[in-house]
Each structure stands twice: as structure tokens, then as C-alpha cells.
Amino acid sequence: MEYHVIHAFTDTLFSGNPAGVCLPEGWPSDAAMQKIAAENNLSETAFVVKRGKGRYGLRWFTPTVEVDLCGHATLSAAYVLFDGREKDAHELIFHTASGALTVTKNGGLLCLHFPTKAVEECPAYPSIGKALGVTPLAVYTAGDFMVLVETEEILRALRPDFSRFDAIREEAGRENNLFGVIVTAPGTDCDFVSRYFAPGEGIPEDPVTGSAHCLLAPFWGKRLGKETMKARQVSPRGGLLHCEVCETQVKISGHAIRYLRGEIISAPCP
């Protein structure tokens, strides 16, 4: 099985978000894909299976669960294909659990065409503040929680207590722990900054989360009165995203760079 590791939302190795990209000839079993993702131990591993010219099936796995939307692994999959099997293409369509997702070339950037997600303000559950070690200005939800804090300095200084995330689930009445907590603030050299924590999905801190910007970009666009914005995810690795808010889509653009090209020669049995 052809295998790549791509660093997404960066043009510099050892920054951005690393994703595994597997190119099997057909779908492995769900159990096999989950074991491969656990072995890769990256925040996400993407599995890409060709459906037709410029069209592919795409699934994403963290080390512990399958997820229904992932930005950086989609960007990474598109990078691999545009650099190899689809060198002459300018657009790719991925069929996913979140519907058909388009990725286009935009100069030196790759552009994800993702659905917008509107957030609703919700109670500022005390468990969220205790887990993050900060008092939020406001808390919103759209599946994940989005926590607004006052400054980038506060955001960068966060040291969450992941042992307290179960208490968030219990206080918010969630049936399972499959949610993330996005923390965001105004940026000092960009429009807005964020970090993303999802220990229940096997990702204590995700380096750069494209899918979170389906919420973040519309939220900050309305707040700032802008349609196009520059965003940074200020995890230790860091990443840069260019966002454009359209009527029903968020266009999320970024660079990518290859770290590894290889072959998985011994896949697990179901």
C-alpha cells in the first residue's frame, strides 16, 4: 500500500499538521484501517480509493476513532494526488461521510471547499474553564465547543488538564466523549488565532485543524466584518490558513510539503 506523510498548512518541514495518506487499491476492512492509523500514531490518517477521473473515496481515522470531517488530511491527500496521479488536474472531488468535498489549486495554495457551520452560544460550563484553566469570555457549540478568550497571549499560555474533559461531557449531557474544544482569540499578526483539543478522539492537541475553521471563519467573519481572513493555529508546531467565507462554504487554503514517501508492506488482518 502506497503511503505518504505530508505536513499540511505549512511550507516548512516539521511544522504544520502531519497526516498519513494511504492509497490502497480497494478499501481495507474498518478494523485494518483503524490499526494502521493507530500504528501511524498521527492525528489523522487518510485512506483514498479511486472512483473515477478526479474522483476519490476518502475516509479519515485518528489513532482511536474514525471521524466524519478532517481538513488537514484532506489537504494532504489532495497534495499527494496533484503531485502524482492527478498532475494535470486542477480540481479533485472526494466522496466522504460529510458529502462531496472539492479541493482546487489556487496558485501555490491548495483550497478546501468545506461547508460552513454556524455556532450557537451555550452555557459557559464551569467544567470547561476548569479543564482549560481560564475563564472564557463566551462559549459556543456546533458539535465541538468553541471557547472565546480575550487575547492571543492567554491562548498561547493554555495548559489544559485533559483529565477534566470527561467532566465537560458529563456536565454538558453528551453521550460520548467524541468532541473537541476549540479555543480562539483575536490575532496579533493575523485576524484570529486558535488551538484545538480533543483527547476523547485520541488527539490531546491537534497541531492545525482545518475543519475547525468551518466554525471559526464564519464566526470571526461576522465579528470582524470580513469575508477573507488570515488565521493561525498557535499550537507548538503552528500553521497558517487563508479563509474565505462564502454563502454556504468556507474556502480554507494552505500550503503542504512532503515528509515521507513509502510503502506499507504488512497490513493487519481484520
**Residue spans of beta strands (DSSP E) within 13-107:** 17-23, 44-52, 55-61, 66-67, 91-96, 99-106
Neighbour-count burial for 249-262, b at 16+ CB within 10 Å, e otherwise: bbbbbbbbbeeeee
Q: Are 28 and 267 in contact (CB under 8 A)?
A: yes
Confirm whether 44 is a catalytic residue. Answer: yes
**What does the alpha-carbon distance between residue 171 and residue 113 come to, in Å, rounded to a whole number?**
34
Q: Which contiguous run of DSSP H or E holds residue 64?
A: none
Task: For residue 94, count CB atoms less than 10 angstroms from its CB and return exposed for 0-12, middle for 13-18, buried for 19 or more.
Answer: buried
Q: Are 226 and 97 in contact (CB under 8 A)?
A: no
Cα of 240 vs its chain's centroid, Å:
12
**What does the alpha-carbon distance between residue 117 and residue 250 come to, in Å, rounded to a whole number?**
9
CB under 8 Å to 115, separation ≥6 — which residues? 98, 99, 214, 248, 249, 250
Candidate list 2, 25, 39, 44, residue with the active-site label: 44
Q: Is 90 left (phi over 0), alpha (psi -120 to 50) or beta?
A: alpha
Planar angle of CA 33, 38, 41, nearest 5 degrees: 125
Active site residues: 44
